[in-house]
Amino acid sequence: MSHRVRVNPISCEAHGMCAELLPERVTLDEWGYPVVDETPLHGSQVEHAMRAARACPTFALLVERERERARR
Amino acid sequence: MSGSAPTIAERIPDYEPASAAALPRLLSGIRPRGPLPLDEHVEVHGQLPSAAGRGRRRAREHAGMLIEEIERAGLLGRGGAGFPTATKMRAVAGRRRRAIVVANGAEGEPASLKDRTLLESLPHLVLDGAILAAEAVGADELVVCVCESADTGIGSVAGAIEERAASGERSPALRLAPVPSHYVAGQESALVNYLSGGPAKPTFTPPMPFEQGVRGRPTLVDNVETLAHVALIARHGASWFRELGTPSQPGSALVTLSGAVAHPGVYEIEHGASLSSLVTAAGGATARVRGALLGGYAGSWVSGQLLNGVALSNEHLAPHGASLGAGVVLLLSEQACPVAETARLARWLADQSTRQCGPCVHGLDALAGTIEELAAGIAGARVAQRIDQLASLVARRGACGHPDGALRPILSAVQVFQAEFADHARHGPCAACARPVELPLPERPVSDASNREARR
């Protein structure tokens, strides 16, 4: 089951923690909001990504399983 | 897509105009003023096809048959996104909890009047479709949303609901909800949010409205024109519906035609009709046409040089990067400056952000500022790259479709009116910049809805 990183753009307040903690997946745009690589995470990155998600002050960084995304 | 592109006239299959008897469908019986009363509505269209009164099980079978019929008809949603209506209904019908149906007549798009026209003039056709949809998905509650600034529409829907109650016509719990008039309020999740007691702003999805909509219940949100088609498909069937339109976009459609045309208003066309036949039906163009904005303020520009070859269906418009959206056709005259108009539109679109998502708030504002500078001739040499960069920072980064929708008219204008944009970037304002503006934005409505011409 593959995982992907996604941002809830409504919750996001551009704290930028995600880019600090997950630079391999997240860069910041010129206003400080995350630009996220949404391709599937490698197995070894999942736990790392989840740590970054837990550290987000507004819980706007999400690590979603494929099944959840299929419903979109 | 500049002037050097060949016209696509030869690529359009021969368009056979629908026989005089085939249209109007939705607009049958429309009066020059005032709503069509229930008894006359029944005279024009016949009784609401029966489903209830035969036991719950039969009613449910009947409801399932309606969804199948709608699927065979190939009805696509008329709110702009063109999603298959039967698919949406099935998703709601398949949920365990009792569903709610929302008839979406919010129509925040300033260049569109077709939903308002339906609600004002033919409210019973919309209510028929909404009631049938509610039965099809097993809903016991039905909310008709009308833009709060559409006084005539609110009055006519309220009157129609009373007429039905008095006639004893079957219906689930039916109520009218005036909804805020801002542009994004009609977005599906914004409407659901509002009807659940929140602000009329989009929410992060999933959950989608069909999963958790109004007050957490599965919710079918359908545009009011879509529901009016449902009312006719239930009466006449899928094959009848497909007698008009194209195989991938069957049926007729309401379009709001405005701009440089003798009789702006709401018209019923069949999908695939040529744009020139529509303009002719509206008394012809009143000026040379520089371009047409198809699909409204979430739609795309097509160059005036190509207009004679344009057919109004998504498959025919795809080569132009355009689609019919919610049926807005706006003709910009040669008198107007497309750069100045785009600068105005870009600013208005930026102002329509509900200010929830950073990329939309900052990106659309920066893009509008860049276009304004370009129009003034002070944007600098790398303005084209800056526009591309901002577009990539805005695209697909909002919770709703507004930022992506806003990019379409802006980016397509930059492409279609390439020469004009290049000229302004170098030399600043042109002679046309000083002329009166043409794109209808709220401070300058497209036309008084009570003066509209609804016909064909």
Chain B residues with CB-CB distance to A30 below 8 A: 362, 393
Q: What is the CATH number of the domain that holds A12?
A: 3.30.70.20
Which ipTM value was assigned to this complex?
0.92
Distance from CA of A48 to the nearest CA of B (A): 23
Contact A9 B359 (CB under 8 A): yes
pLDDT beyond 50 at B195: yes
Is the pLDDT at B133 greater than 70? The verdict is yes
Give per-residue pLDDT as tens, B408-448: 999 999 999 999 999 999 999 999 999 999 999 986 344 44
Are the beta carbons of B390 and B366 closer than 8 angstroms? Answer: yes
**For residues B366-370, average pLDDT:** 98
Q: Looking at per-residue confidence, does B10 or B298 come out higher? A: B298
With CA atoms as reference, the chain A residue closest to B202 would be A10
CA triple B167-B170-B174, angle to 5 deg: 95
Q: Which residue of A has its CA nearest to B362?
A: A31
* Of A12, A14, A72, Cβ closest to residue B206: A72
**Distance of alpha carbon A61 from alpha carbon B275, whole angstroms:** 46
Determine what percent of chain B is predicted with pLDDT higher than 70: 90
pLDDT mean across residues, chain B: 90
Contact A9 B357 (CB under 8 A): yes
> Percentage of chain B with pLDDT > 90?
85
**What is the extent of the structural domain holding A8?**
3-70
Condensed to tens digits (0 to 9), the pLDDT of residues B263-281 reads: 999 999 999 999 999 999 9
- Average pLDDT over chain A reads 91
Phi, psi of B129 (to 5 degrees): -65, -40
Find the mean pLDDT for residues B105-127.
Answer: 96
Partners of A68 on chain B (C-beta within 8 Å) are 206
pLDDT value, residue B55: 55
Q: Is B179 helix (H, G, I), strand (E, B) or coil?
A: strand
Q: Is the pLDDT of residue B11 over 90?
A: no
Give the DSSP per-residue string, B240-309: HHHTSB-SSSBSEEEEEEEESBSS-EEEEEETT-BHHHHHHHTT-BSS-EEEEEESGGGSEEEEGGGGGG
Q: What residue in A sits closest to B211 (Cα-Cα)?
A: A71
- Confidence band of B170 (pLDDT split at 50, 70, 90): confident
Question: What was the pLDDT predicted at B10?
Answer: 30
* Domains recognised in chain B with CATH numbers: 20-242 (3.40.50.11540), 252-336 (3.10.20.600), 338-429 (1.20.1440.230)
| Strand, helix or coil for residue B357 | coil
A9 vs B399: CB contact, 8 Å cut-off?
yes
Which residues of A lie closer than 8 Å to B, measured between beta carbons? 8-14, 29-33, 35, 68, 71-72
Residue B50, pLDDT score: 73
B219 has a pLDDT exceeding 70: yes
The alpha carbon of residue A35 is apart from the nearest alpha carbon of chain B, in Å, by 8
Counting every residue written for chain A, the total comes to: 72
Report the pLDDT value the prediction gives residue B209, as an integer from 0 to 100: 95
Q: Are the Cβ atoms of B399 and A10 closer than 8 angstroms?
A: yes
> What integer is the mean pLDDT of B358-364?
98
Query: Which residue from B287, B318, B321, B240 is spatially nearest to B75, judged by alpha carbons?
Result: B240
Are A31 and B359 an interchain contact pair (Cβ–Cβ within 8 Å)?
yes
Look at residue B90 and tell me whether its pLDDT is greater than 50.
yes
For chain A, how many structural domains are there in total? 1
Residues of A in contact with B399 (CB under 8 A): 8-10
Per-residue tokens: B385: 């790259």
- Checking if the pLDDT of B5 tops 90, the result is no
Rounded CA separation B169/B123 (Å): 15
Q: In this predicted model, what pLDDT tens digit does every residue of A32-64 receive, in sequence order?
A: 999 999 999 998 999 999 999 999 999 999 999
Residue B88 has pLDDT above 80, yes or no: yes
Asked if B33 contacts B295 with a C-beta cutoff of 8 angstroms, the reply is: no
Element (H, E) at B31: none
**A35 neighbourhood in chain B, CB within 8 Å:** 393, 397
* Token pair for B429: 């304002």
Residues from chain B that touch A72, judged by Cβ atoms under 8 A, are 205-206, 208
Q: Confidence band (pLDDT; 50, 70, 90) for B7? A: very low
Return phi, psi of residue B186, to 5°.
-85, -5
Mean pLDDT of A1-15: 95
Give the pLDDT confidence score for residue B171 in this predicted structure.
85
Predicted confidence (pLDDT) per residue in B292-330, tens digit: 999 999 999 999 999 888 999 999 999 999 999 999 999
CB contact under 8 A, A8 and B399: yes
Contacts of residue B263, defined as CB under 8 A and 6 or more positions apart, other chains included, come to B282, B283, B453
| Residue B118 to residues B35, B138, B344, Cα–Cα distance (Å) | 9, 25, 29
pLDDT, average across residues B394-420? 97
Give the SS3 label for residue B46.
Answer: coil
B86-109: average pLDDT: 96
- Kindly state the tokens that stand for B315: 């498959």
Closest residue by Cα to residue B448 from B106, B155, B158, B149 = B149
Q: Please say if the pLDDT value at position B43 is more than 70.
A: yes
- Of residues B204, B208, B211, nearest to A8 (C-beta): B204
A-to-B residue pairs, Cβ atoms closer than 8 angstroms: 44
Picking from B204, B206, B211, the nearest residue to A10 by CB comes out as: B204
Q: Which two tokens stand for residue B310?
A: 């344009």
CB contacts of A71 in chain B (<8 Å) are 206, 208, 211
* Contact in structure between B131 and B171 (CB atoms under 8 Å): yes
pLDDT single digits (tens) A24-39? 999 999 999 999 999 9
